[in-house]
Amino acid sequence: MRIYTETHKTEIKNAYRKSHERRERNRLLALKLIICRGYEVESAASICELSVSYIEKIVSQHHSQGLSSILSKPQGGNNRYLTYDEEATILEKFRERAEKGEIISGVEIQREYEKSVGHEVSNSQIYYVLERHEWRRVKPRKQHPKADPVMQEAYKKKYVIKSRKSLPNMTICWYYSKTRGGSGVSMPRAVAGVRLK
C-alpha cells in the first residue's frame, strides 16, 4: 500500500473544491475517499456510482502521472482558421463586386478563403464566415410565371375589403380550445371565421 503525505491529500481536497465539472468532480471524489479517508475501492465505487475497475484505473493513473492526469482538459471550441479582421479583408473584395450588382457564389469565396488558409475547408466553414460578417443569401421574391401585374391591380381596385359595419348579416364565430399543458383551462383563441346568417 502506498503512503501519501499531507501535501498530496490537501492537493486532492483543493482540486475537489475548485472543480465544477461533474465528471471531473466524481473522479476527484473517488480519489479523495480512497486516499484521504482510507475507503476501500468497492465502497468508493458505490458512493461515486462508478465501476470498481474505473476507480482502480483512476488511482493507478494518479500514481503514475499525478493529479493533472485526472483533471479535465479544456476542450476547444474556436476552430476558426483566420481572425475576424482577416476574414473581413477577404470578403471586402467580394463586397465591392456585390455593390456593383454582380452575383457572387460561395464557391468563389471558398476558393479565396482556401488560398489564404493554405488548405481545403468545408462549405459549412464558409457559411459560418458569411454569417459572422452578416452576409445573407439574396433571392428574388417568388412569383408565379403567368402572373399579370395589370390584372392584379384591377383585382385590388374591384374587391375592396369592406368593414363589419357595412356587412350587417354577419356574425363572428368564436371558439375555445384546451391548453396543451394539460391543465384543462379553456383559453379563448382568435376569431375562427365569419359566418353568414
DSSP states of 22-71 as a string? HHHHHHHHHHIIIIIS---HHHHHHHHT--HHHHHHHHHHHHHH-GGGTS
Fill in the amino acid letter for 54.
Y
> What does the block give as the cell for 53?
475497475
Residue 57 pLDDT > 90: yes
**CA R_g for the chain:** 34
In a domain, 48, yes or no: yes
Do residues 48 and 102 both lie within one domain? no
Give me the residues paired with residue 173 across strands. Answer: 193
In a domain, 194, yes or no: no
In a domain, 142, yes or no: no
Do residues 11 and 65 both lie within one domain? yes
Q: Give the pLDDT confidence of 119-167 residue by residue, as tens digits.
A: 898 888 888 888 888 887 777 677 888 888 888 888 877 766 554 455 4
pLDDT at 77: 60
Could you list the residue range(s) of the whole structural domain that residue 96 is in?
84-132
Q: Give the pLDDT confidence of 17-52 residue by residue, as tens digits.
A: 998 888 899 999 999 999 998 899 999 999 999 999
Number of separate domains in the chain:
2
Q: What is the dihedral of CA 126, 127, 133, 138, to 10 degrees?
A: 120
Give the residue carrying C-alpha cell 499525478. 66
Do residues 22 and 58 both lie within one domain? yes
Query: CA–CA distance from 90 to each of 108, 119, 120, 147 (Å)?
Result: 11, 15, 16, 41
Spell out the residues 6+ positions from residue 177 whose beta carbon is closer than 8 angstroms to its own: 186, 187, 189
